[in-house]
Amino acid sequence: MNKRATIEDVARIAGVSTATVSRTIHTPDIVSDSTRQAVFGAIDQTGFTLNQAARNLRQRRANAVIVLVPDIGNTFFSEILAGIERVASAANQTILIGDAGQDPRRAEKFLNALINGQADGALLLNGHLPPSLVERFGPSGATLPPIVSVSEGLEQQVVPHVGIDNAAAACMAVQYLIDHGHRRIAHLRGPADNILTRQRHQGFLDGMKDAGLTVAPDHIFDGDFTIESGIAAARSLVNQTNSPTVIFCSNDEMAIGLMSECAVLGLRVPQDVSVIGFDDIAFSKVASPRLTTIRQPRLDIGEAAMKLLLGLIAADAVPDAAMETHDVQLIERDSVRFLR
């Protein structure tokens, strides 16, 4: 059992001190040619790699960030993750992914990584900053560690945020529907405690109000961002007397579930009822009919968030509440009918 080579082994073989080895590795330029050759030779010979735990301990830095997602099995998040991953990897940062689920205690547990030195910063995709963390770092979170919220904003936005203007985007969707002759517009919302739900619903209401339209109470459906809740919405829709001409769904999963169930129930989309979604996930362009929706630049958002976080970490800066808003785009496909 030959144990792993340490920097000391390399130093001995190369005939230099450990300090020189360390320098050779991190700043090759400052050592002499002969030393550099000797050290790299010894490294090759021993198969040495730096022990990260020792490095992290000494530097008091983890070179890792934690990414907290509400559901890693959800394609929406996994594409943001891909953006995060890309930037992290380029910056030689490890990402620790935590699936917080619905359990705030799990979220808290993951964020412990910030305190115990496992991570230098955090990306919050689940819209919740555990109060205990804020508490720990003094009143008003004045000295919070580097944290950036992504996509879902926080109740108290005490850290920078990267995402879109959800209300404006929802309002834009409504305007598009109105332009297409729709008046009886329904909204299938997300889960009640979600901040996106509120923002998008507000945008929906604003859009309706701007156009002088009223919203029938039974034109507001409650879902939870899952395919299943879209299916359920279709079922309650079909029993309705004063039926809407179009349903604005707060995400694509629900829209796709809803359209699928409409087909089962004999309701044609868009002839009998139109549907518009939100997010533009990959499957939206192969849904039946192909789903008109609002595209979020998820990859960009993930990349931007990670860059922002790295900046925060590098500058050793305390996060403020700056917002970085990315543009959305309405993707016109076949699920919204033009009413004459």
List residues near DNA by CB under 7 A.
3-4, 6-8, 15-23, 25-26, 30-32, 34-35, 48-51, 54-55, 57-60
| Among 24, 340, 312, residue whose Cα is nearest residue 148 | 312
Taking CB within 5 to 8 Å according to partner kind, which of a copy of itself, DNA, none is near residue 303?
A: none
Of residues 30 through 49, those in contact with a copy of itself by CB under 8 A are 47, 49
Strand partners, 271: none
| Among 100, 298, 282, 275, residue whose Cα is nearest residue 188 | 275
Q: Which CA distances in Å does 174 have to 39, 55, 242?
A: 65, 54, 19
Q: Is 32 exposed, middle or buried (0-12, 13-18, 19+ CB in 10 A)?
A: exposed
SS (H, E, C) 76-87: HHHHHHHHHHHH
Taking residue 180's Cβ as centre, other Cβ atoms within 10 Å add up to 18
Of residues 131 through 150, those in contact with a copy of itself by CB under 8 A are 136
Task: Name the amino acid, one letter, at 242.
Answer: N
Taking CB within 5 to 8 Å according to partner kind, which of a copy of itself, DNA, none is near residue 97?
A: a copy of itself
Task: Write each residue from 236 to 275 as x if it is in contact with a copy of itself (CB under 8 A), else as -, in one continuous string.
Answer: --------------------xx-xxx-x------------
> How far apart, in whole angstroms, are the C-alpha atoms of residue 158 and residue 44?
48
| Among 274, 226, 224, residue whose Cα is nearest residue 248 | 274
Q: Which is nearer to a copy of itself, 106 or 183 (CB)?
A: 106
Q: Which is nearer to DNA, 76 or 137 (CB)?
A: 137
Per-residue tokens: 145: 């560690």
Q: Is 53 an interacting residue with respect to a copy of itself (CB under 8 A)? A: yes
Interface pick for a copy of itself out of 18, 22, 56, 202 (rule CB under 8 A): 56
Q: Which is nearer to a copy of itself, 207 or 280 (CB)?
A: 280
Residue owning tokens 């009223």? 214
- 80 φ, ψ (degrees, to nearest 5): -65, -40
Of residues 277 through 306, those in contact with a copy of itself by CB under 8 A are 282-283, 285-288, 290
Residues at the contact surface with a copy of itself, assessed by CB under 8 A: 4, 47, 49-54, 56-57, 62, 64, 71-75, 78-79, 81-82, 85-86, 89, 94-99, 106, 109, 112-113, 115-118, 136, 227, 230-231, 256-257, 259-261, 263, 282-283, 285-288, 290
